Amino acid sequence: MIIIRCDKKILSDNSEIETLKKTRAVNVKINVHKSINIQSTEIDPSITIPLEKTNNREQEYYRELQKAKDVHHEGVIRASELLKAVRKGHTFSLKVVKQVTIDIVESLLRNSDALLSLSQLKGHDDYTYVHSVNVAILITAFYKSFGYGSDKLVEAGMGGMLHDIGKMRIPEYILNKPGKLTDSEFSIIKRHPEYGIDAIDDKSGISDITRKVILQHHERYNGKGYPFGIKGERINEVGLVSAVADVYDALTSDRVYKSAWTPHKAIACI
Contacts of 59 (CB under 8 A, 6+ apart): 51
Stretch near Fe ion under the rule CB under 5 A, chosen from 25-33, 37-45, 136-144, 159-167: 159-167
In this complex, which beta carbon is closest to Fe ion, that of residue 164 or of residue 249? 164
In this complex, which beta carbon is closest to Fe ion, that of residue 72 or of residue 192? 192
Counted residue by residue, the chain has a size of: 270
Q: Is 167 considered catalytic here? A: yes
CB of 166 to Fe ion, least distance (A): 8
In this complex, which beta carbon is closest to Fe ion, that of residue 96 or of residue 189? 189
Strand-pair partners of 9 = 6
- From the candidates 167, 177, 180, 203, which is the catalytic residue? 167
The single residue among 103, 155, 164, 219 that binds Fe ion, judged by CB under 5 A, is 164
In this complex, which beta carbon is closest to Fe ion, that of residue 18 or of residue 254? 254
**Closest residue to Fe ion, based on beta-carbon distance:** 164
Contacts of 111 (CB under 8 A, 6+ apart): 60, 61, 63, 64, 68
- 246 exposure class (CB count in 10 Å sphere: 0-12, 13-18, 19+): buried
Residue 92, phi then psi, degrees to nearest 5: -140, 160
CB of 163 to Fe ion, least distance (A): 6
Binding site for Fe ion (CB under 5 A): 164
The catalytic residues are: 167
